[in-house]
Structure 1
Amino acid sequence: MSELQLISVHIHERLTSIHRLMDLSAAQLPRLKMKKLGQELLTVDSLLEQLETCVNEQKIQLQQLKKLEESFQTDLVEVQHLQNHIPAHLPKKKHLENSTEAVLQLNPTPAPEAEPQKNSRAVRHMEFISTAEFNLIPQYMRGRVSYEQVNAVVRCFNSAVSAKYRIIHQSVKSLNNQSRRLQQRFKEQENKDTTGQYFVVDQDIHDFTQMKVDKRFLSVVHMLRHCRRLRELRGGGVTRYVVS
């Protein structure tokens, strides 16, 4: 039994009960019977609301079914048209006459991949000082040196390191006489403590940059050492500034 039919049965039962109570209206009904009559009327009202909701839902479903039927009829007409107009001869796939050509087309030779370019050796550089780090340097150590002057020295160190190790990483045959002498000097300055490290000396700063190695330069070196940007290795009368 559908929901609509079930609601109709309930309404019919309630109406029958109300009719019976109304038939007794000529007599004096007990108060309990009058209360029951009111309850039956409320029940009928609720059932009527449910009936109205159910009818509206059925209308919506009916509209959807009609749209579905129209769509189905359209598809059916198209299928019948295709069935009645199938060509007598359908075109066949063209076969490759040459089997070798077929293999080449099915399995084309991949294009050769370009060889990756060899990257130049990476060189460790010194990181610039941030404003927060600069402000943490004690005032007695900073003196009148500005934030820009400190990072100018950092830039100077990085330029010297790049120039020095560009020469070191080249083969001897590709260097001119002056660069060969520099490369020889660089190797003589190395020792067991500098293995795997990147460092420069005062002479490198003089040769590869325009920075003067004076008192201000040395005071900035002291600040960079305080900020752990470099450390000093002394030996053989040479001070090596190792990039941290």
Structure 2
Amino acid sequence: MEIKTLGEKLVLLKQRLAETENIRGKNNELLCKIEKSVERLAELIGGENEEKKLIEELAKEIGSVGKETAPSTPQRAHSTQNRMALLTEDEFAKTPQYMRGRMALEKVNAIIEDINTVFDRKRETLNTPKEKMTLETKRRIAQYRETDCKEVAGSVYITEQNIKDAMPLPALKQNPSYKNTFSILRHHGRIREVRKGGVLMVVLL
């Protein structure tokens, strides 16, 4: 293999390493590809020469990038084990009046409990072991997957259809306008909303 070709490959690998450092923690797949490329180059070169040494140095750089750990994000107080925390009296008091309307704190928290139940049921269904899946479970999982998109990738979310499927739930049944509470939950960082293809997805934060 010509040294010129190896040099060009080395430059390309260094560029990709720089890219990886910028997006570390978001794209580990790219890092794995670079590592494999370096290993392959080392195998092809063999022996002891300047190019070999340069690639070995690059391999060490990549290894250090892979070992670095991104700063951990403190767990938010409003999310406990993938469940929404209830609103406190202080939070409710600081909620704009136009959002609260005539709703009492107890009613908002009852709705949060029901929404948590919807999240729990969806999560339980998605985590069903294959050997325990019934046809109904498979059908429901397929239905859940229909709304998956990049905007909610890796997030826990529910749709209005998921809520309807989980009914009857006491607080949601008694409050048909429960969606009005979503603005309160958004305001306090409990959820975010994503609309895609006419479907409203409520993402747990």
TM-score (norm 1): 0.47
Superposition RMSD on alpha carbons, in Å?
A: 1.9
Per-residue deviation, residues 33-57 of structure 1 (Å, max 9, x unmatched): xxxxxxxxxxxxxxxxxxxxxxxxx
> Do residues 231 (structure 1) and 192 (structure 2) align?
yes
Find the residue that maps to 2:193 and give its secondary structure. Answer: strand
Find 2:183's aligned residue among 214, 222, 227: 222
Q: How far apart, CA to CA, are the structure 1 residues paired with 2:90 and 2:134?
A: 45
Q: How far apart, CA to CA, are the structure 2 residues paired with 1:213 and 1:230?
A: 22
Per-residue deviation, residues 5-53 of structure 1 (Å, max 9, x unmatched): xxxxxxxxxxxxxxxxxxxxxxxxxxxxxxxxxxxxxxxxxxxxxxxxx
Q: CA deviation at 1:238?
A: 0.7
4+ residue runs of structure 1 moved beyond 3 angstroms?
A: 212-215
Find 2:158's aligned residue among 200, 203, 208: 200
Structure 2: stretches of 5+ with no match in the other structure? 1-79
Q: Kindly indicate whether the alpha-carbon contact (under 8 Å) linking 1:200 and 1:240 is maintained by their aligned counterparts in 2.
A: yes
Q: How far apart, CA to CA, are the structure 1 residues paired with 2:175 and 2:198?
A: 18
Q: CA deviation at 1:224?
A: 0.9
Match of 1:153 in 2: 111
In the alignment, residue 83 of structure 2 is paired with which amino acid? H
Match of 2:62 in 1: none
Structure 1: stretches of 5+ with no match in the other structure? 1-121
Question: Considering only CA atoms, is the larger Rg found in Structure 1 or Structure 2?
Answer: 1
Find 2:82's aligned residue among 113, 120, 124: 124
State how many pairs are aligned: 123
Q: CA deviation at 1:173?
A: 3.9
Query: How much identity, in percent, do the aligned residues show?
Result: 28
Q: CA deviation at 1:187?
A: 1.3
